[in-house]
């Protein structure tokens, strides 16, 4: 590995140490990170793997000093992180390039902040640009570049200040498959040849294969609140082969760990719902739901599919696939366990049904298994006018979740209920009604 790194690896003090960090908003009402610990040593690439909303980006920003954690401690080279430490820089999912600065000016920005003279700045920026393979693009503006080239600028900008730790927040997820793969390989080559002036990389990802491909260690985060659910060491030699059985086994293992979560809370009995409407519902289109049901019901899966190959064949990353799969689980159309997804009897019936029958089935599952849907339907049934202002439910939800999540959940349930023709929503008056426009 990196010789530059082995010299410092002997040093016992970890580069970054995170101890029992919690992050919450609204006076502890919404917990994003809960008692998270993490150690980053020199010479390793560590991946933070988890669903969106598991707080991994928040953790990354806490380490970068962009957010102050509510409690707990973060140290960089043994010293507490105050402000944004010089030895840490970051690569963003959105590239975060300044559109009005050229590639060269973008790369020089970090050096300018350190008060470095223009000649020296230019020299170092050109070095970084050469290293990252951007020669010839120095005077281009970001909008003239492809996504891959933009992210290279992001990388060059992060490296030019010679950080010890490189933080990467889903650096490849905004790129197409081929471009992302090229960038990963290039980055790994630079890393293993020790050509980058960094000692360690901490990356957030929601792509399981990416994590297994690049990382020496992977921390799996669970969501709501974000916790470190598991830590997996990956000892496969670089370069790694995706088709290697050991590689596949690791991917499978991670899928299993990520699907083995506490089962979705079920209402105690169908009538009582008030206690359970505090769940943030996923916003998944009913088209995606029926599409996945049909796919699993059909050949070659016949009702039961292994998630990794399913994800691969559909070209979906976990952040795309999991919400669909979990929605199916929530509606009891499917069961998720040990990396597999299996259709329930209702799911199989849904797959074979015609449009109207499907809507009926969907409505049944919605009322039976989604407490909020049942609750709203009951309120509408009880009112003589059969209509209720959305505000009423919004406020009710806001007692249990943030304003943003309440709005999100309400939109999710609206779209499902519209499909199921369970109840309707009129945007103009902001009212829920039982009457569908006829």
Partner 1 sequence: MIFLPHNRESLSEAATLSRGRIVPNVYDILALSIMAAVFVLLAHAAIAMRGSIELLSTAPVTLDPANLPEYALRTTLRMFAAIIASLIFTFVVATLAAKSRRAEMVIIPALDILQSVPVLGFLTFTVTFFLGLFPGSQLGAECASIFAIFTAQAWNMTFSFYQSLRTVPRDLDEVSRGFGLTSWQRFWRLEAPFAAPGLIWNTMMSMSGGWFFVVASEAITVGDTTVELPGIGSWLALAISKENFVAVGWAVLAMAILILLYDQLLFRPIVAWADKFRAEQTASQQKPRSWIYDLLRRTRMLKLIGMPLAAAWDRLMLVGAGRKRKAPALAEPRPTSKLADRLWLVFIVLMAAAGAVVTVLYIRRTLGWADVAEVFGGGLATLVRVAVLVALASLIWVPIGVWVGLRPAVAQKVQPVAQFLAAFPANVLFPFVVIAIVATGASPNVWLSPLMILGTQWYILFNVIAGASAFPSDLREVASVFKLSSWNWWTKVMLPGIFPYYVTGALTATGGSWNASIVAEVASWGNTHLEAYGLGAYIAKATEAGDFPRVVLGIAVMSLFVTMFNRLLWRPLYVFAERRLRLD
Residues interacting with partner 1, by CB under 8 A? 61, 64-68, 82-84, 86, 88-90, 92, 94-96, 98-102, 104-105, 109-110, 112-118, 138-139, 141-144, 157, 161
Is the separation of the CB atoms in 68 and 226 below 8 Å? no
Q: Name the residue nearer to partner 1 (CB basis): 137 or 350.
A: 137
CB of 173 to partner 1, least distance (A): 14
Q: Are strands 165-169 and 88-91 parallel, antiparallel or unpaired?
A: parallel
Cα–Cα dist 213/222, whole Å = 21
| Non-local CB neighbours of 49 within 8 Å, separated by 6+ positions | 56, 205, 206, 208, 211, 218, 219, 220, 221, 254, 258
Shortest distance (Å) from residue 31 CB to partner 1: 16
Q: How far is the CB of 23 from partner 1 (least distance, A)?
A: 11
The nearest distance, CB 235 to partner 1, in angstroms, is 32
Q: How far apart are CA 118 and CA 111, in angstroms?
A: 9
CB of 260 to partner 1, least distance (A): 34
DSSP letters spanning 59-114: HHHHHTTSS--SEEEEEETTEE--SS-TTEEEE-TT----TTS-HHHHHHHHHHHT
Q: How far apart are CA 276 and CA 356, in angstroms?
A: 29
In this complex, which beta carbon is closest to partner 1, that of residue 6 or of residue 118?
118
Residue 169 CB, nearest distance to partner 1 (Å)?
9
Of 61 and 358, which CB lies nearer to partner 1 in the complex structure? 61
- Which C-beta is closer to partner 1: that of 115 or that of 384? 115
Other beta carbons within 10 angstroms of residue 410's beta carbon come to 20
Smallest gap, in angstroms, from Cβ of residue 189 to partner 1? 26
DSSP character for 226?
A: B
Query: What is the token pair recorded at 374?
Result: 């049942």
- Tell me how far, at minimum, the Cβ of 207 lies from partner 1, in Å: 20
Tell me the sheet residues that pair with 103: none
Q: Which is nearer to partner 1, 20 or 100 (CB)?
A: 100
Indicate the residue among 92 and 333 with the shorter CB distance to partner 1.
92
What are residue 432's DSSP bridge partners? 388, 425
Pick between residue 39 and residue 84 the one whose CB is nearest to partner 1.
84
First-last CA distance in the chain = 69
d(CA 273, CA 379): 11
Q: Which is nearer to partner 1, 33 or 90 (CB)?
A: 90
Q: Which is closer to partner 1, CB of 21 or CB of 281?
A: 21
Closer to partner 1 at the Cβ: 23 or 41?
23
Starting at the edge strand that comes first in sequence, how are the strands of the sheet with 30-40 ordered?
30-40, 16-25, 71-76, 79-80
Minimum gap (Å) between residue 375 Cβ and partner 1: 27
Separation CA 176–CA 317 (nearest Å)? 12
- Pairwise CA distance, residues 259 & 230, whole Å: 13
CA distances from 417 to 72, 194, 433 (A): 43, 55, 11
> Is the Cβ–Cβ distance between 200 and 45 less than 8 Å?
yes
Residue 167 or 284: the one with the smaller Cβ distance to partner 1 is 167
Q: How far is the CB of 206 from partner 1 (least distance, A)?
A: 18
Cβ neighbours around 186 below 10 Å, total: 15
- Rounded to 10 deg, the angle between the 286-297 and 345-352 helix axes is 100
Closest distance to partner 1 from the beta carbon of 251 (Å): 30
């Amino acid at each position: 590995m990196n010789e530059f790194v082995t010299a410092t690896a002997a040093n016992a003090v970890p580069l970054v140490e995170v101890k029992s960090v919690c992050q919450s908003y609204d006076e502890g009402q919404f917990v994003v990170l809960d008692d998270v610990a993490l150690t980053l040593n020199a010479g390793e690439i560590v991946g933070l793997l988890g669903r969106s909303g598991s707080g991994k980006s928040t953790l990354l920003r806490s380490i970068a000093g962009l957010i102050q954690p509510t409690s707990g401690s973060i140290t960089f080279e043994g010293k507490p992180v105050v402000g944004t430490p010089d030895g840490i820089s970051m690569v963003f999912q959105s590239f975060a390039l300044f559109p009005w600065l050229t590639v060269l000016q973008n790369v020089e920005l970090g050096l300018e902040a350190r008060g470095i003279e223009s000649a020296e700045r230019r020299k170092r920026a050109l070095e970084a640009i050469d290293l990252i393979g951007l020669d010839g693009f120095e005077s281009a503006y970001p909008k003239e570049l492809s996504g891959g080239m933009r992210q290279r600028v992001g990388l060059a900008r992060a490296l030019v200040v010679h950080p010890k730790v490189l933080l990467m927040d889903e650096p490849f997820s905004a790129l197409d498959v081929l471009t992302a793969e090229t960038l990963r390989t290039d980055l790994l080559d630079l890393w293993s040849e020790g050509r980058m002036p960094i000692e360690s990389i901490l990356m957030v990802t929601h792509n399981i294969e990416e994590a297994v491909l690049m990382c020496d260690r992977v921390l799996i985060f669970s969501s709501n609140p974000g916790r470190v659910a598991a830590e997996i060491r990956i000892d496969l030699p670089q370069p790694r082969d995706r088709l290697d059985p050991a590689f596949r086994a690791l991917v499978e293992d991670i899928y299993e760990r990520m699907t083995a979560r506490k089962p979705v809370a079920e209402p105690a009995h169908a009538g009582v719902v008030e206690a359970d409407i505090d769940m943030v519902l996923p916003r998944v289109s009913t088209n995606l739901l029926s599409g996945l049901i049909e796919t699993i019901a059909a050949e070659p899966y016949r009702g039961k599919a292994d998630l990794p190959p399913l994800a691969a064949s559909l070209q979906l990353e976990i952040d795309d696939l999991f919400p669909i799969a979990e929605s199916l689980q929530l509606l009891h159309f499917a069961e998720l366990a040990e990396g597999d997804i299996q259709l329930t009897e209702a799911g199989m019936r849904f797959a074979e049904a015609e449009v109207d029958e499907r809507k009926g089935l969907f409505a049944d599952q919605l009322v039976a298994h989604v407490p909020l849907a049942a609750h709203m339907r009951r309120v509408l049934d009880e009112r003589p006018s059969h209509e209720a202002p959305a505000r009423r439910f919004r406020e009710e939800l806001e007692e249990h979740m943030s304003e943003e999540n309440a709005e999100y959940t309400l939109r999710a349930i609206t779209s499902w209920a519209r499909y199921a023709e369970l109840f309707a929503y009129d945007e103009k008056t902001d009212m829920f009604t039982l009457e569908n426009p006829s």
